[in-house]
Amino acid sequence: MTDQPVLSLQGIKKSYGNNHVLKGVTFDVMPHEVVALLGPSGSGKSTLMKCINLLERIDDGQIWVNGTDISDPKVNEDKVRAQIGVVFQQFNLFSHMTVLKNVTLAARKVHKWKAEVADRRAMELLDRIGMAQKAASYPDQLSGGQQQRVAIVRALLTEPELLLLDEITSALDPMLVGEVLDMVQEIKQQGTTILMATHEMSFAHRAADKVVLLQQGLVTEWGTPADVMDNSQREATREFFSYFRRID
């Protein structure tokens, strides 16, 4: 491997008071990889996502993005956030802006694109997901699945180095989950580097290059989906995945 990792986490610790959420998390995400972050609720997945995006400050460890230590207090946090796209569980579209304004906001105001360039690129992406005719609609006029796909376009428009997907299908009904996951699959094929926290086990198994299992604030398994999800030697890992087998 000559590539350096897009994201490298080294011994990340984070506590809220006496609640030690992350106890030293270490793993890498390589260019063009899709890494699925799995683990039970409360294992620290969302906290880790917030730390990587500098929405929460870590208590120890280092976070490297393309060779830069972004946990250094001297880095410009706004610039770092601008290179990392994030999609949240609750979509978090700006309710007072149209779909097009939502999608182009960062391009226009942060990356200083010309409005017509941003609009053209946004319309191309919206067209690709079949939502060009919704460009002038407001978020509350869209279904959950449509809102989430718009949120993904918003995160992707400026071509971030890394895309963080934080349980993006957890607030959607089963019929809408499919349309959002299909879009993730398409983004993966375009070569975007993705770290996704998810409970969609079959999707992780099918689409992820690597799987990271987070349990009680620690990475307990790290490897290909087959290694971790099918052939683990650890009792705790097998137990975790067995819950999902039973439902399947």
Partner 1 sequence: MSTIKPSTADFINDHTFDTVSDVELARRKVRRGQNVTSIVVSVVSSVVLALAIYVGLRLSPGWEAVKTTFFSGEYFLQSLPTVGKGMLLNIEVLAFATVGVAVFGTIIALLRTSRSSVLFPLRILAMVYTTVLRGIPMIVVLYLIGFGIPALGIFGRISPTVLGTIAIVLGYSAYVAEVLRAGFESVHPSQRASARSLGLTVGQTIRMIVIPQSLRKVAPALMNDFISMQKDVGLISVLGAVDAVRAAQIDQASSYNFTPYIVASVLFILLSIPFIIINDWYSDKLRKRELSGGTV
Can you give the binding site for partner 1, defined by CB under 8 A?
50, 53, 55, 78-79, 81-86, 88, 90, 92-96, 105-106, 109-111, 154-155
Q: In this complex, which beta carbon is closest to partner 1, that of residue 139 or of residue 217?
A: 139
To the nearest whole angstrom, how small is the minimum distance from the Cβ of residue 225 to partner 1?
28
CB-count exposure of residue 136 (10 Å: 0-12, 13-18, 19+) = exposed
Closer residue to partner 1, CB minimum distance, 62 or 92? 92
Instruction: Give the closest residue to 99 by CA, choosing from 125, 134, 55.
Output: 134
Placement of tokens 């375009």 in the chain: 190
Q: Residue 46 or 237: which CB sits closer to partner 1?
A: 46
Shortest reach from residue 82's CB to partner 1, in Å: 3
- Phi and psi at 215, nearest 5°, equal -135, 125
Cβ-based nearer residue to partner 1, 107 or 213: 107
Shortest spacing between CB 155 and partner 1, in angstroms: 8
Two structure tokens written together for 33? 């990889």
Q: Which of 167, 24, 169, 164 is nearest to 81 (CA)?
A: 164
Give me the DSSP letters along 57-74: --SEEEEEETTEETTSTT
CA pair distance 163, 86, nearest whole angstrom: 6
d(CA 153, CA 87): 9
**Minimum CB–partner distance for residue 23 and partner 1 (Å):** 24
Give min distance, CB of 241 to partner 1, in A. Answer: 31
Give the C-alpha separation, 228 to 1, whole Å: 22
Least distance in angstroms from the C-beta of 95 to partner 1: 7
CB closer to partner 1 out of 81 and 199: 81
Task: Name the residue nearer to partner 1 (CB basis): 157 or 211.
Answer: 157
CB 11 within 8 A of CB 62: yes
